Amino acid sequence: MKKLLMLGGTEFVGRALTDDALARGWDVTVFHRGHHAPPPGVRAVHGDRTAPGGLDALADGAWDLVVDTWAHAPTAVRDAARLLSDRAGHYTYISSRSVYAYPAPSGTAEDAALVEGSPDAGSTAYAEDKRGGEIAAVDAFGDRALLVRAGLIVGPYENVGRLPWWLNRAARGGPMLAPGPRDLPLQYIDVRDLAHWTLDAAEAGLGGPYNAVSPVGHATTGSLLEACAAVTGGGAELRWTDPAAIEAAGLEPWVELPMWLPPGELYDFMMTADVSKAVAAGLTCRPVEETAADTWAWLRSLGGVAPHRPDRPMKGVDAEREAALLGL
């Protein structure tokens, strides 16, 4: 039986990883601040990585695998990785494709240029923080460090508000703004597929960076929004709208229209990653219809109101602005 230490394991990505590990029958320890309850079946230990002595609860113990989801000051990754380097066999850091230097050409692979980062830095900006965390993990674990560069993550437990907003909007029904082009490829990963591949890769002892997101062409804006309309049964009438009209109306891609970017430089950076390395290492992605259906079922279990991270902006376009753009 594998012994896993989850550094953060109660929300979204961490929760999906914890659930997957428990389903494998692993012995799971979850280290967290105690703000949210971990799933039954884990050993929970508490500490605040940003406070003096915050790692004291991990002073003893040994684990086969560690997975770290930290997204802020790299010093927290540095301190944890150093503390565990001789008591853990392998360290996985959930990073981000944001670590690539912008702009990047279409088809960016793991050897592309990266942003600057330092393991000794306090929290600065998301990309630099993630890069600093990567360096910290490698400094402590060398080739026993796996860097999972995730892209857009959706699915059950989402606390950012992207897919939940589209599902709730589709459930409301009526004419619904659908940002075009309809056949524009959408690159994302279901959090459960991310978790399953990550634990497989960690168990296999893989090291180094991997882009972890669906292959280009796995889904489109059309297949996503049509799946949202179908699973919610709200009678949403998709009104496909040209990006130029959306720009003219002043709507903000990614925030007011979650998960969507118009074709261009930022789209190429965010939605066209080369994932052949992860696919060769076993990454598979479930159909978009399954992701939409399962996320909707989870949302309904919460009364339609998903949890939301306080450090992320609220997502979605105001109903009046949507109606004005559609001429209603």
Percent of the chain clearing pLDDT 70 (strictly above): 100
Q: Taking residues 157-168, what's their average pLDDT?
A: 96
HSE (side-chain half, CA atoms, 13 Å) at 226:
11
**242 with 219, same domain?**
yes
Lowest mean pLDDT among 14-23, 220-229, 234-243, 299-308: 299-308
User: What is the pLDDT at residue 105?
Assistant: 87
User: What is the pLDDT at residue 306?
Assistant: 84
CATH code, 142: 3.40.50.720
User: Does the pLDDT of residue 240 top 90, yes or no?
Assistant: yes
Answer yes or no: is 265 within a domain: yes
What are the tens digits of pLDDT across the range 37-75?
Answer: 889 999 999 999 999 999 999 999 999 999 999 999 999
**24 with 106, same domain?**
yes
User: What is the pLDDT at residue 135?
Assistant: 98
pTM over 0.95: yes
Domain that includes residue 28, residue range: 3-150
User: What is the pLDDT at residue 297?
Assistant: 98
Pairing of the two strands 27-32 and 43-46: parallel
Cβ partners under 8 Å of residue 216, min gap 6: 185, 187, 271, 272, 273, 275
Last residue of a domain, one of 150, 175, 195: 150
User: What is the pLDDT at residue 219?
Assistant: 98
* CB atoms inside a 10 Å sphere around CB 231: 20
**86 with 113, same domain?**
yes
Read off the pLDDT band of 83 (50, 70, 90).
Answer: very high
Lowest mean pLDDT among 59-63, 121-125, 138-142, 195-199: 121-125
User: What is the pLDDT at residue 307?
Assistant: 85
User: What is the pLDDT at residue 63?
Assistant: 98
User: Does the pLDDT of residue 80 top 90, yes or no?
Assistant: yes
**167 with 145, same domain?**
no
Geometric angle at alpha carbon 16, from 15 and 19, rounded to 5°: 85
Answer yes or no: is 279 within a domain: no
User: Does the pLDDT of residue 267 top 90, yes or no?
Assistant: yes
Read off the pLDDT band of 173 (50, 70, 90).
Answer: very high
Phi-psi region of 327 (alpha: psi -120 to 50; beta: other; left: phi over 0): left
**How far, in Å, CA of 297 to CA of 208, rounded?**
36
Answer yes or no: is 36 within a domain: yes
**83 with 175, same domain?**
no
**How far, in Å, CA of 201 to CA of 56, rounded?**
29
Last residue of a domain, one of 121, 150, 179: 150
For the chain, what is the domain count?
Answer: 2
Read off the pLDDT band of 311 (50, 70, 90).
Answer: confident
**How far, in Å, CA of 108 to CA of 279, rounded?**
15
**166 with 310, same domain?**
yes
CATH code, 239: 3.90.25
Q: Taking residues 278-288, what's their average pLDDT?
A: 98
Read off the pLDDT band of 308 (50, 70, 90).
Answer: confident
Mean residue pLDDT across the chain = 96
